[in-house]
Structure 1
Amino acid sequence: MTSKSDDTVLKSIHNPNISHVLHPMTIRHLAREWLKEDTPNFDYGGFVVGEKEESAVLLMKSAGVLAGRPFFEAIFKELECNVVWENVLEGSYHEPIKAIATVSGKVRQILLGERVALNIISRASGIATAASRLKNIVKKLGWHVEVAGTRKTTPGFRLVEKYALLVGGISTHRYDLSSMIMLKDNHIWTAGSISQAVSDAKVVGGFSTKIEVECRSVEEAITAATAGCDVVMLDNFSPQALKQGAAEVKEKFPNIIIEASGGITEDNISNYCDKNVDVISLSRLTQGYETVDFSLKVRKEGIDPRNLTVKL
């Protein structure tokens, strides 16, 4: 759990309204599919509570960066419930226990959306929190360019994870296979050579799509740059080999983008922040991240929901 003394978390993310990148129809579709998955037929618990009007408080129970508001809202909108946020912004850092929002509507509908909405916001906030820590680490080092997530996302959950990276202040890398052409070892082996693979990629990518080549050596990187790729990934290089290799490639091709990837974590990322490296990518942000703990408590007269610690 992150505490106030942990200054590796950005206390406030000064981003524009990142939610504007999300398509309303896409969010609505996801919300409907998530709700259908969680309640495919009978709502037995809903029979117990009925349809009286209630309100529930969303509590942030562990420290972190808030992310996922648009998805949380979309879930309850489908259930004809109203969400009113406290004075909190997407991307803002909070200590527990903090009341974040109030959800109002028919109690059966509130509880229909409860677990789905909590699953979304806890995971999105976990990614944004981890991303903000990385952003702050490289910022303190004075490193000049970008940290990025990867395409190693959860099937069906990619939009939330990629969105949370943006909220946390780092790059999403390519969103999907259509976003950028990345030529990895299997592409190169099948095409016959790096040069041939890049040449073939240019036929379909044209002027508007960047081409990146995954390279296991400096020689491969120079071959890829010579063939005309836009980005070379120095994959699984040690920090020292990375610095030497990046310097050699930049000397010959000063305008090439150099990405470092492979084995990079929050603990060792500072070793890879070199003046000749433009992007550092890592998959830990969307694989094995720690979630932020939230709960949703129906208001009961005379009881402060912040004092209720039972997890639902």
Structure 2
Amino acid sequence: MYGGMLAAPSATRSLSPKFRHLLPPTYSQTIAAWLAEDCPSLDYGGFVVGEDLKEASLWCKSPGVLAGVPFFDEVFRQLGCSVQWYFDEGAMIGKEGEGKTKVKAATVRGPARKLLLGERVALNTLARCSGIATASHLFLRRARQAGYRGIVAGTRKTTPGFRLVEKYGMLVGGVDMHRYDLSSMVMLKDNHVWSTGSIPAAVAAARAAAGFSMRIDVEVQSEEEARQAIAAGADVVMLDNLEGQELIDVARRLKSELHASSGVKGGKEFLIESSGGIDLANLSSGGHLDDAIDVISTSAIHQSTKHVDFSLKIEPLSQVKTRGH
């Protein structure tokens, strides 16, 4: 009776598994820890509402890309509730630039106490993940509209304990996650070089430890440092905080004089990455979209990004009974 009485019309129960299957089995443990953090002892509000079966509507109140569906689902799965979605993950809900909106994104069903127990954890995760996906989508679209064909990537400047959600949001938004953590790729920054003594010494030590299977990305501050990194065997050269014509000139010289594709004798295979303070305001004007740039990495898509506004509202008992009959 419960499932039939509260069934919503024209619902979409199966979502695209595009990125859901990438998630590690440990993410369910992480969500259990979030729930424990939010209710470490007695649930006074839950005592008030009890265990009556209820239906709640998930409203999207600002335009954005829907992301974080697996996390939202897992919160309520652990609490014995069900979720019915009306949009695929990755879909834009509402119209961009519209401001406030109100679109029903999903229906959640279960005991009233459990709906409210999972509400804030689920909404916070969904809002943050969708905000990152939206910012990523807009950044990538701007780059593609300007004719850029390279890789747009995030960074490792993520929130401790929340990296999985934030990196997932980047994927749903269409950008590359860059390295996931310190074990994913070797990145040698200025502190590594200063501590080791030189770029060649740092690259040699990294290669000896990482072997052939991992890329080495070296952050450089000048063309001369870039040349040192390439000669030492760096797979990626990050031109940090270079912009404008200087960035374009340096990148083009490196490609034409040192890259294997240029036909130069002894040419190397390497990627050129542009990074450092890149956002929508300077994306087109900073030289980052030149064909010589293979990768643009930015934290603007996941640091200080605006959340997508979601709310979860339990329908009044009278409305549910009326619709059920």
TM, length-normalised to structure 1: 0.90
Task: Spell out, residue by residue over 1:131-188, the C-alpha distance to the aligned partner (whole angstroms, 9 max, x if none).
Answer: 0001111111121111110000000000000000000000000000000000001110
| Cα RMSD for the two superposed structures | 1.3
Alignment of 1:266-281 (within 5 A): 266-271=280-285, 272-281=288-297
Matched, 1:175 2:180: yes
Structure 2 residue aligned with 1:196: 201
- Report how many aligned residue pairs link the two structures: 288
Structure 2 residue aligned with 1:46: 46
Q: Distance in 2 between matches of 1:156 and 1:252?
A: 43
Structure 2 residue aligned with 1:265: 279
Task: Spell out, residue by residue over 1:194-223, the C-alpha distance to the aligned partner (whole angstroms, 9 max, x if none).
Answer: 000000000111110000100000000000
Give the letter for the 2:72 counterpart. Answer: F
Q: Distance in 2 between matches of 1:76 and 1:48?
A: 20
Structure 2 residue aligned with 1:287: 303
Give the letter for the 2:22 counterpart. Answer: V
Structure 2 unaligned spans of 5+: 1-15, 95-100, 260-268, 321-325
Q: Is the 8 A contact 2:139 2:301 kept in 1?
A: no
Matched, 1:220 2:225: yes
The higher radius of gyration belongs to 2
Alignment of 1:71-110 (within 5 A): 71-86=71-86, 88-95=87-94, 96-110=101-115
Alignment of 1:101-250 (within 5 A): 101-250=106-255
Task: Spell out, residue by residue over 1:250-294, the C-alpha distance to the aligned partner (whole angstroms, 9 max, x if none).
Answer: 122323100000111111112310110000111122210000000
Secondary structure at 1:208's aligned position in 2? coil
Give the letter for the 1:132 counterpart. Answer: H
Structure 1 residue aligned with 2:257: 252
Secondary structure at 1:296's aligned position in 2? strand
Q: Distance in 2 between matches of 1:133 and 1:105?
A: 36
TM-superposed deviation, 1:42: 1.0
Q: Is the 8 A contact 1:81 1:105 kept in 2?
A: yes
Give the letter for the 1:27 counterpart. Answer: Y
TM, length-normalised to structure 2: 0.86
User: After the TM superposition, which parts of structure 1 deviate over 4 Å for at least 4 consecutive aligned residues?
Assistant: 301-304
Structure 2 residue aligned with 1:70: 70
Q: Is the 8 A contact 2:31 2:74 kept in 1?
A: yes
When structure 1 is superposed on structure 2, of 208-217 and 255-264 the one drifting more is: 255-264
Q: Distance in 2 between matches of 1:303 and 1:149?
A: 45
Identity of aligned residues (%): 51
